[in-house]
C-alpha cells in the first residue's frame, strides 16, 4: 500500500483513539470498568471476525503463530484495556491523554532495545518535538498535577501496549496483523469477562439501567475505535514498523482536546495551539514523512537537472 495511505490511515486511527478516551471516561461512570471493557472488547472482536470473514482472510494459525497471538492477547488486550479502564475510572481524561502521549517515546526506546531498530536523528527529533507538544497541549488548564494510582494504571496500560507492538511487528512476518487482531480481541474478551465476574460480581446488571445515549457511545467505541481502529493500526504497524506508526500516537491528545472543546465546551488556550504545531512537526519528522518528501524533491530536482 502507498506510504501516504498508511499515514492517512494512522491519522484516522488517532482521531478515533483520541475520541475514545473521552468516551471511555463517560462510560466508566455508568458501568464498572472491567465489566465494561470486557463486553466492549467482545463486541469489537466479533465485528473484526465478521469483517475478515467477508474479506476471506480467516484461517487457522500455525502452532508457532499461537505464541504471538497469546502474548499479544495478554499485552495488547487484557493488560492494556484492564489498566486503561481502571485508570480512567479514578483519574481525569486530561491526565490520561497526557500519559498515553508518551507512547511514541516508549515505542522508540523499546524498538531500539528489542528489535534492534534505531531511529534516525531526524526521527528522534520528531519524537522529542511530539512529546513537547503533548506536554504543552495537555498540561495547560490541568487542575491537578500530582501523580496518583489512576495515572500509574494508565501509564502501565500504554507501556504494555507498546510492548505488544513489538509482538505485532514480529508476528506480521507470517501472520496478517488483521487476523492477529481478531484472535487477540476474542480471546482477550473471554479472559476479561472471567476477570470481571470475579472482580465485579453482579456488575453486568448495570447495563440494564443505562440510557440509549450510553449504547450509542458504547457501539461507537467498540466498533469504530476498537474494532476498526485496532485493525487499521495493527495493519499499519506491519507495513510501516512499530516506531514509525507509534509517532502518530502524539495526535491522540490533540484530537481529545479538539473534541472536548467542540462537545464539552472546554476552552482552548494559545498554548494548546503551540502544542498542536509542535505535535504536527513531531509527527512529520518522527514518522519519516518529512524525509520522504525531501528525498522525492531531491529526485525530482536531479531528474530536471539531468
**DSSP string computed for 19-52:** HHHHHHHHHTTTS-HHHHHHHHHHHHHHHHHHHH
CA angle 261, 263, 264 (to 5 degrees): 70
Predicted confidence at residue 48, as pLDDT, reads: 92
pLDDT at 44: 94
Helix (H), strand (E) counts: the chain: 15, 0
Asked if residue 249 lies in contact with residue 93, where contact means CB atoms within 8 angstroms, the answer is no
* Residue of 104, 146, 114 whose CA lies nearest to 244: 104
Place of cell 513537547: 132
Q: Please, are residues 75 and 167 in contact by the beta-carbon 8 Å criterion?
A: yes
- Say which residues have a Cβ less than 8 Å from residue 69's Cβ, sequence separation at least 6: 61, 171, 175, 180, 183, 184, 187
The grid cell for 227 is 474494532
Give the model's pLDDT for residue 90.
Answer: 77
Predicted pLDDT at 36: 95
Stretches where the chain sits below pLDDT 50 are: 144-147
Question: What are the backbone dihedrals phi and psi of residue 140, each rounded to the nearest 5 degrees, phi first?
Answer: -65, 125
Cα distance between residue 230 and residue 297, in whole Å: 33
Longest dimension (CA), the chain: 74
* C-alpha pair distances (Å), 192 with each of 42, 72, 184, 218, 240: 9, 14, 12, 17, 30
Q: Cell numbers of 163, please?
A: 510492548
Q: What pLDDT does residue 57 have?
A: 87
Question: 183: Cβ–Cβ under 8 A, 6 or more apart, which residues?
Answer: 61, 69, 73
pLDDT at 84: 84
> In the numeric block, which cell numbers belong to residue 137?
497541549
**Gyration radius of the chain over CA positions:** 19
Phi, psi of 42 (to 5 degrees): -65, -45
pLDDT value of position 246: 66
Amino acid at each position: 500500500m502507498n506510504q501516504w495511505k498508511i499515514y492517512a490511515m494512522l491519522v484516522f486511527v488517532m482521531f478515533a483513539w483520541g475520541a475514545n478516551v473521552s468516551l471511555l471516561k463517560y462510560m466508566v461512570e455508568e458501568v464498572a470498568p472491567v465489566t465494561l471493557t470486557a463486553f466492549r472488547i467482545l463486541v469489537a472482536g466479533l465485528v473484526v471476525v465478521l469483517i475478515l470473514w467477508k474479506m476471506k482472510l480467516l484461517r487457522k494459525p500455525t502452532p508457532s503463530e499461537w505464541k504471538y497471538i497469546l502474548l499479544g492477547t495478554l499485552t495488547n488486550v487484557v493488560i492494556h484495556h484492564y489498566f486503561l479502564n481502571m485508570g480512567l475510572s479514578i483519574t481525569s481524561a486530561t491526565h490520561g491523554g497526557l500519559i498515553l502521549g508518551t507512547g511514541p517515546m516508549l515505542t522508540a526506546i523499546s524498538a531500539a532495545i528489542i528489535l534492534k531498530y534505531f531511529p534516525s536523528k531526524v526521527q528522534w527529533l520528531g519524537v522529542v518535538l511530539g512529546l513537547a507538544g503533548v506536554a504543552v497541549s495537555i498540561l495547560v488548564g490541568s487542575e491537578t498535577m500530582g501523580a496518583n494510582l489512576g495515572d500509574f494504571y494508565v501509564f502501565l496500560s500504554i507501556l504494555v501496549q507498546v510492548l505488544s507492538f513489538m509482538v505485532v511487528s514480529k508476528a506480521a512476518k507470517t501472520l496478517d496483523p488483521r487476523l492477529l487482531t481478531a484472535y487477540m480481541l476474542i480471546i482477550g474478551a473471554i479472559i476479561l469477562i472471567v476477570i470481571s465476574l470475579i472482580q465485579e460480581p453482579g456488575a453486568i446488571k448495570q447495563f440494564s439501567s443505562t440510557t440509549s445515549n450510553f449504547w450509542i457511545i458504547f457501539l461507537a467505541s467498540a466498533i469504530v475505535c476498537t474494532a476498526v481502529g485496532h485493525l487499521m493500526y495493527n495493519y499499519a504497524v506491519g507495513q510501516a514498523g512499530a516506531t514509525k506508526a507509534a509517532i502518530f500516537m502524539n495526535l491522540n491528545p490533540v484530537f481529545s482536546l479538539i473534541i472536548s472543546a467542540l462537545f464539552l465546551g472546554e476552552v482552548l488556550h494559545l498554548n494548546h495551539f503551540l502544542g498542536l504545531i509542535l505535535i504536527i512537526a513531531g509527527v512529520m519528522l518522527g514518522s519519516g514523512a518529512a524525509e520522504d518528501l525531501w528525498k522525492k524533491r531531491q529526485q525530482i530536482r536531479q531528474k530536471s537537472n539531468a
